[in-house]
Structure 1
């Protein structure tokens, strides 16, 4: 079993989900009391959010790059950035280490293509929905994403940062998200990407009007496949 390195704390609410998922998956695969070999470095999210708001992505890349290198030195055989938004700087972080960085967008695109989905609706932070890095990488992998209208993007972003990252899960916000999904269904969306690692706290991907793809679960599964040495090659679509 190879050691998984997790860059967590963005927010710790979703990092706790990652930790639970990778251990549950190892126990399911190996049985008994088996659990994952994991190293986690949890950062101060307030520091990262300040960089996001200031547009200091270079500073954020240095910070997470330092953390990734510490994980590698500590024995991690791969690294995961446990958040979609900070994959905006994934290439800079990957350049700091010599072990694989398992990329959440690549893994999500592979899952979408395997399911025959080509027009998913992305629900995520404003940074992920608007900065282009997510859409561009998905497009390069053969997937055209859709995002909500500007007003709805604000609603999703605020639910994530003001509520989910603070441990608040409100039925009223779940209803808002479902209305957004219904509006985008009418425009041709064929699936839903839970593109923020906290959204699984409020939306069940298996209880949506379209097929749901939870990036947190997809990312954790990829880490376990790497750790346990499974064949992670994907068939070409």
Structure 2
């Protein structure tokens, strides 16, 4: 298996989730005494969000490229971003990187196509929901991506920024997010909801949502195993 490099810290809780899921899934697939070699470069999620807010994508690309360089120097042969939002500069980052990057967005789009879905909902940070970078691969293959109403976007973005990125899980937040997804299912006719923030699986752990949930962490990790062979 090739060595994986993860750009983590976006945020810390999802980085822990990635590590735990990847390591134990590798152990399950390869053997009881096997644990994979990998390196994590932890960056500051709030630096990323600030640069996105300023639309300073050149600075963001340089910031992430430095992190990739550190991973490559540590021997990483394949690199992945553990957050959806940093993918806003994925193409620019890949163009200045020597090793392959594995996209969480392309992985999720491929899964939606495999499932035969034509209309999906998306929840995540404001930049992920309102930006074009996440939706583009889907629309190019005829899949409609629906985001919440403007006031719901405000609520979701605030709770991700102030709570989930800090590892704070509140039942009231979970209930409101669930209600928003339920409204999208009833009013918009979505066939599934993309959990487009890698902290969201932690919020919804043990929760049955009104519609099929697509966990971008699980989907991404499955693609990573294929890339690491």
Q: CA RMSD in A?
A: 1.5
Structure 2 match to 1:109: 109
Structure 1 match to 2:218: 217
Within 5 Å, give how 1:132-143 maps onto structure 2: 132-143=132-143
Give the CA deviation at 1:45. Answer: 2.6
Contact 1:205–1:211, Cα closer than 8 Å, also in 2: no
Structure 1 match to 2:203: 202
Distance 1:43 1:53, change over 3 A: same
Within 5 Å, give how 1:15-164 maps onto structure 2: 15-164=15-164
Distance 1:59 1:205, change over 3 A: farther
Figure out how many residues of one structure are paired with residues of the other and give that number.
228
Contact 2:80–2:103, Cα closer than 8 Å, also in 1: yes
Q: Which secondary structure state, in structure 2, belongs to the residue aligned with residue 128 of structure 1?
A: helix
Give the CA deviation at 1:33. Answer: 2.5
TM-score norm. by structure 1 comes to: 0.91
Give the CA deviation at 1:205. Answer: 8.4
Q: Deviations over 1:161-219 (max 9, x none)?
A: 11111111110011101110111111211101000011111114872221111001111
Contact 1:159–1:173, Cα closer than 8 Å, also in 2: yes
Distance 1:141 1:86, change over 3 A: farther
1:167 to 2:164 alignment = no
Q: Which secondary structure state, in structure 1, belongs to the residue aligned with residue 118 of structure 2?
A: coil
Q: Which secondary structure state, in structure 1, belongs to the residue aligned with residue 145 of structure 2?
A: coil
The 2-side partners of 1:196 and 1:44 are apart by 16
The 2-side partners of 1:224 and 1:79 are apart by 12
Give the CA deviation at 1:15. Answer: 0.6
TM-score norm. by structure 2 comes to: 0.95
For structure 2, the 5+ residue unaligned runs are none
| Of 116-125 and 133-142, the range deviating more from structure 2 | 133-142
Give the CA deviation at 1:74. Answer: 2.1
The 2-side partners of 1:221 and 1:204 are apart by 19
| Of 43-52 and 106-115, the range deviating more from structure 2 | 43-52
The 1-side partners of 2:170 and 2:99 are apart by 39
